Structure 1
Amino acid sequence: MLRAQPLAQEDPETIFFSPISRDFCAYWWRLAQQRGGIPLRDDIDPARLLPLLPHIFIVEKIKDTGRFFFRLSGTGIREIMGSENTNHFLDELLHGEDLVTVSAMFDQVLGEGVGIRSIEGLTYSDRSYLRVEIVRLPLCKSNGDRRLILGCLSRIEDDNRPDFGGAPRGSAVKDRQVIHIANDVLPRKAF
């Protein structure tokens, strides 16, 4: 049986910019309250997440190698990132400082059982720019192992930066690749 774990109880209105992130975290929080700690993968009901599914990802830390593997990455994430993450290892998608930073956040979520919200700046190959909010939350496998991260990635529509000839806000990324991720455009928040 899983041991109950205390969870932070901050008001989502004070943490998140995106309503998608707020709804996602509220869903996870309800599951955590019902479970008395970190939810299990089996607790997730996709039917209750239909509007959020395009923005959700599930990452597993592979026990033998310590590598992070994307079990699922929604279509909305593919549209924002310009590539498919599902069935890829994190180190196939990111390199250098970006890989180190994201891996450290994943390890913190799993190791400490905390959620992490960050605001990331994405620079694309055509030099356009977009801000996204990413929420990473711990999730346990059915046997209780804390090796999964349930996450959500959404655009921040109130970006005040000028649009340097990139895609109009709200459109999908086409024929562009993310070439740099500016981690922590705003301070990261663990909760």
Structure 2
Amino acid sequence: MTLQIVRGREDLDGTDPAIRDFYEYWLRLAGENGALPARRQIDPVEIWPHIGKIAIAELYRDGVFDPWYRLVGANVSELAGRFLKNCLYRDIYSKEQAEQLGVLYHEIMQDKLPRYEVSSIKLPDREFMKIARLMAPFASDHQNVDVIVGLVVAVQERRTVSRRLF
């Protein structure tokens, strides 16, 4: 797994064009004054070519940090092997994975910078897939991160891990 803070366009050189397009879109929404964009600013028409690759994670439920997927594009659900809309992270991931994701989200909330990650995910039926994703912070009040919007793409075809019989 590789994870990096994205401080500028050059940090995404050589990545999937969809990742770079989404980062440029996030920059346009953020504007020049350093304020974070709000989720309500997202125009589905402007990101239409990538809409199936988008996942929107709300970070709070009833004022408590408890991330959940508000919206998940069809491509992301297909990669995950299941429908993820309105699912809580703690119900999807193992306790350890959910804790790691919580730590990552808190880091994004503190420094207000996107993260780019390349990692392998386990799919149903013991399949593994390599994905790349950009996780960008959004804030309803333009300052305090309350939403992470991610764009997820496959960077390697699925392959089945053979089962070993002992």
TM range, smaller chain: 0.7 to 0.9
For 1:7-86, list aligned pairs within 5 A. 8-14=7-13, 17-33=15-31, 36-62=34-60, 64-86=63-85
How much has 1:17 moved relative to structure 2? 2.5
Q: Hey, what does 1:122 align to over in structure 2? A: 121
Query: Which residue of structure 2 lines up, in the alignment, with residue 182 of structure 1?
Result: none
Tell me the alpha carbon deviations over residues 100-127 of structure 1, each in whole angstroms, 9 at most, x when there is no partner: 1111111111122111111110123433
With structure 2 as the length reference, what TM-score do the two structures score?
0.82
What residue in structure 2 maps to residue 107 of structure 1? 106
Larger relative helix fraction: 2
Identify the residue that residue 132 of structure 2 maps to in structure 1: 133
2:64 is paired with a residue whose SS is coil
Q: Which residue of 2 aligns with 1:163?
A: 159
Q: Tell me the distance in 1 between the aligned counterparts of 2:155 and 2:79.
A: 11
* Distance in 2 (alpha carbons) for counterparts of 1:100 and 1:150: 19
Q: Post-superposition shift, 1:64?
A: 2.4
AA aligned to 2:118 is I
Task: Report SS of the residue matched to 1:130.
Answer: strand
Query: Following superposition, which runs of at least 4 residues in structure 1 exceed 3 angstroms of deviation?
Result: 142-145, 162-166
Flag the 1:126–1:143 CA change in 2: closer, same or farther, 3 A: closer
Separation in 2 of the partners of 1:38 and 1:143? 5
Change over 3 Å in CA distance of 1:108–1:13 after alignment to 2: closer
Q: Percent identity?
A: 20
Separation in structure 2 between the aligned mates of residue 165 and residue 104 of structure 1, nearest angstrom: 30
Give the superposition deviation at 1:41: 1.6
